[in-house]
């Protein structure tokens, strides 16, 4: 971990370099003189003849023209190194030509000449250097005389004006009085990238005349940047109030989260996700002393404010390969609210399991490669970065109370042994031998999604090894240990049900021994976790999910601390009402072994597509020995009774945005 | 048209292999061959309802399609919700037992952005479609059940059954009348489902006699009440008629769905890899 800042910088600089190169490449394409740019669209008239001239910055490599009917159109594909253009339409004031539309394809620009009348006139299309002209001839009907018009002219066109021959018609040119309005995109328009799809041509972008010749930015530069950039995010406040003494705010977190997606090329995209939090009520780094003092006492910016680069990754899509490189979350598994195969990223437990997994997972610097072959998808993971799961601070509201420690072979007297605790040893970041790796194979077969998973990773919690230093003198030496995870998942859909399951067998998992004479207080066992569940789409407004979850420690001789078989069930109800604006939901998790329960009802109301409010509660019920019950019953801590009663109500107000 | 119909019967015959089917098939052939022309029973001088339905069914819809759409959902109080989508669709024409595959990417609003939806529509009308959804909030692809065809698509007034390819043989079709509107001739067709207790008791369809588009459809519920009216503006793109704007109004709830289509492209040679779980996680191709 000591080298993390250096490595982090390396990654960040590497990604920035890639961004720079990618952006530079794409922007260079915009500005490069070797790119074929449209300078002018020009209509001339001569009796019954019309000529549409397309003037480019350089000669196209080829042209291809064909007519279409109903409505009558002439399509001209101009092939060459294309500068992407926003789809646009340039209306003409003519009795024959309605308008000229343009759209960008990967290798060509497509011009569509929308014609008036049902019958296609005789036409010819020819190229002379950088000029493409389409001639339309209607000898069978009289066509009123019209004036020549410039339908489109780029700022740079002035520099090339000399190359455009004079109009064959004697009529003077007429420029449209104002910018052309936004217009439908041409049919057969290009498969534009995702980020550019939402952008609509604005009047300025399809303006037929240059407003400030010579002072405009490079055509397409800003548009290209804007089209390739996608910024979304939200601000929200999450406030929770304890139901039991002390009746104080559990939190009042103010979030700002922004996600930036930047499309470098057609095959590469960079994603940056940042998050900042401000909590004036409670320390983000909670501890018991702070919690016991008055609620509003944390004005220190250092304790109340956090900013975090959550994710930063580069996606590269190359034929059948998908590569994601950077700080990211990797999610496996099928279950709801439980993590069996979803153990690649460590987890933040400062709020136990109450915050969403997407917020609780700790992203890691990693490489993920997917390869698709026929019906199979192969996925490989490499995680050179290590971070441990983050438990709640000692003495804080959600401190784990049931973490076991090895029994001590205490020999009286003296009655109190001397115990030392060493610092946690953990794997070294970026050392190849300490890397984590994973593989997954997935396939859809006979109406089932199937996956096989393998992960060779470090435990997210340190194992408290015990050393006996002398009579009644002990030392705990916690360290992270490796495990192999073999697993799989499936789902099967029929009628209104989906049966799903996932399981994982951990080989050589470490468990704390209750035997005081055990050598180091730790034993290795095989450990199976699995969940089986069913989704039931009850009706249009209600979906239910029921799951059964079990942990099994094989060959547990009774010496291990804790249950060798643990069972739990869960119920999840999700519904929508009132034009999908009201979303009640309920999650209940019940630990069968100790009869403890976590119930989480909540209702979200969407005031608009961008503003929502959620009110809900988290109830902890049952025995303090259980996973959930540990936060239910009062626990004596530093002469105060409160820490176990963590049930709370909460309110969340969220405002999303998109730039 | 008849060849297509016979082919479907033949498929059904092969599937069931029962002697009762053989008997009914023979009876069917006999009845059809002995029956007078259907047009004689409906509107003289016009094709029969079934013939019109077959023509509509066979209207060219391209091999694949890309389209953008803005969905506006309005409840009875006038409150609206909007969804911007990008949709890819590919015709499978029975290959691998599939009718078509579609992939929908949600572009906005932000709370649904990057959600993707994949549907594999089965050729067998009785079979359930295969559907998956990628939820960015979970970072997971989830299989979803599609057995209830009455479920709404995206909270709209369009249900999954409306989006499925309905076979001509699943309804009886009757040409009620011919109407003229602004110089355009329309067939008014009544399509009544053969299967009992189907979602709709009948549909009234206005079909443009010239281009076989359907600008208006009325849906009647199981109790025979007018449930919803579906009106559509059509546009022709690359010789293929396609929706330009469609409005579905629920007459019982007052809820309304408007879908505005843009940037529609046909026959783009869409790869099969677009319609996979992998694409769901990647987002729009």
Report the CATH number at residue B70.
Answer: 2.50.20.10
Q: What is the pLDDT confidence band of residue A136, given thresholds at 50, 70 and 90?
A: confident
Q: Kindly identify which residue of chain A lies nearest to residue B260, measuring between CA atoms.
A: A184
- Do B224 and B125 fall within a single domain? yes
Q: What is the pLDDT of residue A155?
A: 64
Asked whether residue B128 is domain-assigned, the answer is yes
| A436: β partners | A383
Average pLDDT, chain B: 82
Average pLDDT, chain A: 77
* Chain B contact present for A499, CB below 8 A: no
Nearest by CB to A579, from B86, B143, B155: name it. B155
Residues 6+ apart with CB under 8 A from B230: B162, B216, B217, B218, B219, B246, B247, B248, B249
Q: What's the average model confidence in pLDDT over A215-234?
A: 71
Q: Which residues of chain A make contact with B140, given a CB cutoff of 8 A?
A: 331, 333-334
Residue A485 has pLDDT above 80, yes or no: yes
Residues 6+ apart with CB under 8 A from A619: A597, A598, A599, A600, A647
pLDDT one-digit tens code per residue, B175-194:
999 998 888 899 999 999 99
Torsion of CA B121, B126, B130, B131, to 10 degrees: 80
User: Residue A88 in contact with residue A24, Cβ under 8 Å?
Assistant: no
- Do B126 and B180 fall within a single domain? yes
Residue B5 has pLDDT above 60, yes or no: no
Q: Among B77, B139, B80, which residue's Cα sits nearest to residue A606?
A: B80
- Which one of 2.60.40.3500, 2.40.420.20, 3.40.50.1970, 3.30.750.24 gives the CATH number of domain A38-218? 2.60.40.3500
ipTM > 0.90 (yes/no): no
pLDDT one-digit tens code per residue, A298-342:
333 456 778 889 999 999 988 889 999 999 999 999 888 888 999
Q: What's the average model confidence in pLDDT over A170-188?
A: 31
Instruction: Note whether B139 contacts A315, CB cutoff 8 Å.
Output: no
The pairing of beta strand A390-391 with beta strand A348-349: parallel
Report the C-alpha gap between A442 and A453 in whole angstroms.
Answer: 9
Q: Which residues of chain A make contact with B84, given a CB cutoff of 8 A?
A: 198
Three-state DSSP string of A139-185: CCCCCCCCCEEEEEECHHHHHHHHHCCCCCCCCCEECCCCCCCCCCC
Taken as a whole, chain B contains a residue count of 285
Q: Mutation test of the interface with chain B: which of A321, A580, A606, choosing the one with the most B Cβ atoms within 10 A?
A: A580
Residue A112 has pLDDT above 60, yes or no: yes
Which pairs count as long-range contacts for A252-257, CB under 8 Å and 24+ apart, including other chains? Answer: A252/A279, A252/A280, A252/A281, A252/A282, A253/A277, A253/A278, A253/A279, A253/A284, A254/A278, A254/A279, A254/A280, A257/A233, A257/A310
Q: How many angstroms separate the CA of residue B112 from the nearest CA in chain A?
A: 9
- List all residues of chain A from 446 to 475 with a beta carbon under 8 Å from chain B: 447, 449
Residue A341 has what DSSP assignment?
Answer: S
Residue A486 has pLDDT above 50, yes or no: yes
Q: How many angstroms separate the CA of residue A445 from the nearest CA in chain B?
A: 12
- Do B95 and B29 fall within a single domain? no
- List all residues of chain A from 209 to 248 with a beta carbon under 8 Å from chain B: 232-234
Asked whether residue B52 is domain-assigned, the answer is no
> Is the model's pTM score more than 0.80?
no
Asked whether residue B17 is domain-assigned, the answer is yes
Q: What is the pLDDT of residue A441?
A: 96
Q: Which residues of chain A make contact with B66, given a CB cutoff of 8 A?
A: 191
Q: A340-349, A581-590, B43-52: which has the minimum mean pLDDT?
A: B43-52
Longest CA–CA separation in chain B, Å? 61
Q: How many angstroms separate the CA of residue A184 from the nearest CA in chain B?
A: 7
Asked whether residue B48 is domain-assigned, the answer is no
Q: What is the pLDDT of residue A362?
A: 92
Number of domains in chain B: 2
Instruction: Note whether B238 contacts A333, CB cutoff 8 Å.
Output: no
Q: How many angstroms separate the CA of residue A58 from the nearest CA in chain B?
A: 28
Q: How many angstroms separate the CA of residue B32 from the nearest CA in chain A?
A: 35
Taken as a whole, chain A contains a residue count of 659
Domain that holds residue B19: 1-35
- Secondary structure (3-state) at A397: coil
Nearest by CB to B148, from A322, A334, A496: name it. A496
Residues 6+ apart with CB under 8 A from A336: A533, A545, A547, A570, A572, A587
* Chain B contact present for A271, CB below 8 A: no
Q: Among A466, A483, A508, A291, which residue's Cα sits nearest to residue A393?
A: A291
Asked whether residue B137 is domain-assigned, the answer is yes
- Do B73 and B23 fall within a single domain? no
Report the C-alpha gap between B44 and B151 in whole angstroms.
Answer: 40
Q: What's the average model confidence in pLDDT over A468-483?
A: 87
Report the C-alpha gap between A32 and A83 in whole angstroms.
Answer: 9
Q: How many angstroms separate the CA of residue B42 from the nearest CA in chain A?
A: 31
pLDDT one-digit tens code per residue, A526-548:
999 999 999 998 887 899 999 99
- Do B4 and B140 fall within a single domain? no
pLDDT one-digit tens code per residue, B249-281:
999 999 999 999 998 888 888 988 889 888 888
* Chain A contact present for B155, CB below 8 A: yes
Q: Among A303, A368, A384, which residue's Cα sits nearest to residue A1?
A: A384
* Chain B contact present for A371, CB below 8 A: no
Angle A182-A31-A194 from CA coordinates, rounded to 5°: 50
Nearest by CB to B109, from A370, A535, A610: name it. A610
Residue ranges covered by each domain of chain A: 38-218
Asked whether residue B56 is domain-assigned, the answer is no
User: Residue B200 in contact with residue B227, Cβ under 8 Å?
Assistant: yes
Q: Mutation test of the interface with chain B: which of A187, A343, A362, choosing the one with the most B Cβ atoms within 10 A?
A: A187
- Do B90 and B214 fall within a single domain? yes
- Do B30 and B144 fall within a single domain? no
Residue B253 has what DSSP assignment?
Answer: T
> Is pLDDT larger for residue A171 or for residue B62?
B62
Q: Kindly identify which residue of chain B lies nearest to residue A537, measuring between CA atoms.
A: B145
User: Residue A594 in contact with residue A626, Cβ under 8 Å?
Assistant: yes
Report the C-alpha gap between A53 and A76 in whole angstroms.
Answer: 11
Report the C-alpha gap between A297 and B163 in whole angstroms.
Answer: 58
* Tokens describing residue A245: 């003494």
Instruction: Note whether A370 contacts B263, CB cutoff 8 Å.
Output: no
Residue A199 has pLDDT above 70, yes or no: no
* Chain B contact present for A658, CB below 8 A: yes
Q: How many angstroms separate the CA of residue A441 from the nearest CA in chain B?
A: 12
- Secondary structure (3-state) at A48: coil
Q: What is the pLDDT confidence band of residue A236, given thresholds at 50, 70 and 90?
A: very high
Instruction: Note whether B110 contacts A233, CB cutoff 8 Å.
Output: yes
Three-state DSSP string of A401-457: CCCCCCCCCCCCCCCCCEEEECCCECCCCCCHHHCEEEEEEEEEECCEEEEEEEEEE
Q: What is the pLDDT confidence band of residue A213, given thresholds at 50, 70 and 90?
A: very low
Q: Which residues of chain B make contact with A491, given a CB cutoff of 8 A?
A: 143
Asked whether residue B42 is domain-assigned, the answer is no
Q: Which residues of chain B make contact with A341, given a CB cutoff of 8 A?
A: none
- Do B17 and B94 fall within a single domain? no
- Secondary structure (3-state) at A490: strand
> Is pLDDT larger for residue A654 or for residue A90?
A654
> Which of A6-10, A149-153, B18-22, B90-94 is most confident?
B90-94
Q: What is the pLDDT confidence band of residue A25, given thresholds at 50, 70 and 90?
A: very low
Q: What is the pLDDT of residue A243?
A: 87
pLDDT one-digit tens code per residue, B70-100:
999 998 888 888 999 999 999 988 888 888 9
Residue A42 has pLDDT above 50, yes or no: yes
> Is pLDDT larger for residue A506 or for residue A517?
A506
- Do B96 and B236 fall within a single domain? yes
Q: How many angstroms separate the CA of residue A425 from the nearest CA in chain B?
A: 31
- Do B106 and B242 fall within a single domain? yes
- Do B23 and B142 fall within a single domain? no
Residue A78 has pLDDT above 50, yes or no: yes
Q: What is the pLDDT confidence band of residue A570, given thresholds at 50, 70 and 90?
A: very high
Residue A121 has what DSSP assignment?
Answer: P
Report the C-alpha gap between B117 and B119 in whole angstroms.
Answer: 7
- Secondary structure (3-state) at A547: strand
Asked whether residue B51 is domain-assigned, the answer is no
Instruction: Note whether B237 contacts A580, CB cutoff 8 Å.
Output: no
The half-sphere exposure of A560 on its side-chain side, counting CA atoms within 13 A, is 20
Residue A282: count of CB within 10 angstroms of its CB: 25
Q: Kindly identify which residue of chain A lies nearest to residue B284, measuring between CA atoms.
A: A194
- Do B16 and B151 fall within a single domain? no
Q: A166-170, A432-436, A636-640, B267-271: which has the minimum mean pLDDT?
A: A166-170
Kindly give the residue spans of alpha helices, DSSP state H, lying in A32-169.
none
């Amino acid at each position: 971990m000591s080298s993390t800042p250096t490595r982090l910088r390396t990654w960040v600089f590497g990604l920035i370099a890639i961004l720079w190169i990618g952006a530079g490449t794409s922007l260079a394409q915009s500005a490069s003189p070797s790119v074929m740019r449209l300078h002018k669209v020009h209509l001339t008239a001569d009796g019954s003849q019309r000529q549409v001239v397309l003037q480019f910055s350089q000669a196209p490599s080829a042209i291809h023209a064909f007519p279409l009917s109903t409505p009558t159109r002439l399509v001209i594909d101009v092939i060459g190194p294309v500068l992407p253009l926003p789809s646009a339409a340039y209306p003409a004031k003519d009795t024959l030509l309605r308008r000229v539309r343009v759209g960008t394809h990967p290798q060509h620009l497509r011009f569509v000449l929308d014609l008036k009348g049902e019958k296609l006139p005789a036409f010819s299309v020819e190229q002379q250097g950088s000029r493409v002209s389409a001639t339309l001839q209607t000898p069978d009907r009289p066509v009123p005389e019209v004036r020549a018009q410039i339908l489109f002219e780029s700022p740079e066109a002035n520099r090339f004006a000399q190359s455009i021959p004079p109009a064959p018609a004697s009529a003077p040119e007429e420029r449209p009085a104002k910018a052309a309005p936004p217009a439908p995109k041409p049919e057969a328009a290009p498969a534009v990238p995702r980020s550019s799809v939402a952008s609509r041509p604005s009047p300025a972008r399809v303006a037929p005349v240059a407003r400030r010749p010579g002072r405009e930015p490079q055509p397409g530069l800003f548009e290209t940047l804007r089209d390739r950039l996608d910024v979304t995010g939200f601000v929200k406040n999450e406030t929770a109030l304890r139901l039991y003494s002390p009746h104080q705010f559990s939190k009042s977190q103010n979030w700002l989260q922004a996600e930036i997606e930047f499309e470098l090329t057609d095959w590469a995209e960079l994603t940056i996700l940042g998050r900042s939090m401000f909590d004036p009520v409670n320390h983000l780094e909670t501890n018991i002393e702070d919690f016991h003092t008055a609620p509003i006492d944390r004005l220190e910016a250092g304790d109340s404010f956090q900013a975090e680069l959550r994710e930063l990754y580069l996606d590269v899509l190359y034929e059948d390969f998908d590569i994601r490189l950077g700080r990211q979350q990797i999610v496996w598994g099928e279950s709801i609210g439980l993590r069996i195969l979803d153990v690649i990223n460590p987890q933040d437990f400062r709020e136990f399991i109450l915050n969403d997994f997407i917020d609780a997972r700790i992203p890691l610097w990693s490489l993920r490669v997917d390869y698709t072959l026929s019906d199979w998808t192969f996925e490989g993971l490499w995680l050179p970065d290590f971070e441990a799961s983050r438990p709640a601070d000692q003495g804080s509201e959600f401190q784990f109370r049931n973490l076991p420690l090895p029994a001590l072979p205490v020999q009286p007297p003296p009655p109190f042994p001397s115990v030392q605790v060493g610092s946690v040893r953990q794997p070294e970041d970026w050392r190849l031998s300490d890397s984590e790796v994973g593989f997954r194979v997935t396939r859809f077969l006979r109406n089932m999604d199937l996956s096989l998973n393998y992960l060779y990773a470090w435990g997210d919690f340190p194992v408290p090894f015990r050393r006996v230093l002398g009579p009644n003198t002990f030392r705990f030496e916690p360290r992270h240990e490796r495990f192999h995870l073999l697993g799989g998942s499936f789902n099967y859909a029929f009628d209104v049900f989906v049966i799903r399951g996932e399981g994982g067998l951990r080989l050589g998992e470490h468990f704390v021994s209750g035997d005081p004479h055990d050598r180091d207080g730790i034993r290795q066992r095989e450990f199976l976790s699995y969940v089986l569940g069913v989704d039931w789409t009850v009706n249009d407004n209600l979906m239910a999910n029921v799951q059964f979850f079990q942990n099994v420690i094989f060959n547990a001789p009774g010496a291990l601390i804790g249950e060798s078989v643990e069972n739990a069930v869960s119920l999840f109800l999700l519904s929508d009402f009132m034009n999908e604006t009201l979303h009640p939901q309920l999650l209940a998790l019940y630990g069968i072994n100790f009869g403890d329960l976590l119930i989480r009802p909540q209702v979200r109301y969407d005031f608009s597509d961008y503003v929502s409010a959620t009110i809900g509660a988290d109830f902890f019920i049952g025995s303090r020995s259980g996973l959930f019950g540990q936060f239910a019953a009062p626990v004596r801590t530093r002469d105060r009774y409160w820490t176990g009663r963590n049930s709370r109500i909460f309110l969340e107000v969220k405002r999303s945005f998109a730039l | 048209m008849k060849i297509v119909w016979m082919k479907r019967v033949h498929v059904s015959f092969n599937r069931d292999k029962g002697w009762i089917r053989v008997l009914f098939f023979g009876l069917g052939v006999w009845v059809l061959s002995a029956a007078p022309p259907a047009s004689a029973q409906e509107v003289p001088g016009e094709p029969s309802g079934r013939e019109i339905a077959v023509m509509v069914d066979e209207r060219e819809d391209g091999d694949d399609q890309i389209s953008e759409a803005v969905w506006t959902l309005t409840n009875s109080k006038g409150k609206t919700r909007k969804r911007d989508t990008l949709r890819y669709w590919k015709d499978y024409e029975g290959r691998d037992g599939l009718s078509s595959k579609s992939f929908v990417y949600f572009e906005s609003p932000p709370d649904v952005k990057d959600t993707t939806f994949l549907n594999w529509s089965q050729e067998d009308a009785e079979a359930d479609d295969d559907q998956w959804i990628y939820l960015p909030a979970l970072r997971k692809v989830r299989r979803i059940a599609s057995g209830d065809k009455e479920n709404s698509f995206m909270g709209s007034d369009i249900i999954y059954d409306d989006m499925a390819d309905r076979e001509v043989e699943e309804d009886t079709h009757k040409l009620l009348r011919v109407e003229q509107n602004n110089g355009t001739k329309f067939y008014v067709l009544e399509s009544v489902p053969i299967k009992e207790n189907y979602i709709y008791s009948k549909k009234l369809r206005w079909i443009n006699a010239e281009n076989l588009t359907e600008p208006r459809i009325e849906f009647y519920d199981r109790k025979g009440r007018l449930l919803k009216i579906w009106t559509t503006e059509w546009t022709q793109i690359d010789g293929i008629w396609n929706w330009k704007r469609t409005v579905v109004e629920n007459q019982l709830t007052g809820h309304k769905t408007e879908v505005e289509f843009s940037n529609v492209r046909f026959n783009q040679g869409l790869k099969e890899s677009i319609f996979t779980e992998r694409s769901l996680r990647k987002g729009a191709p």
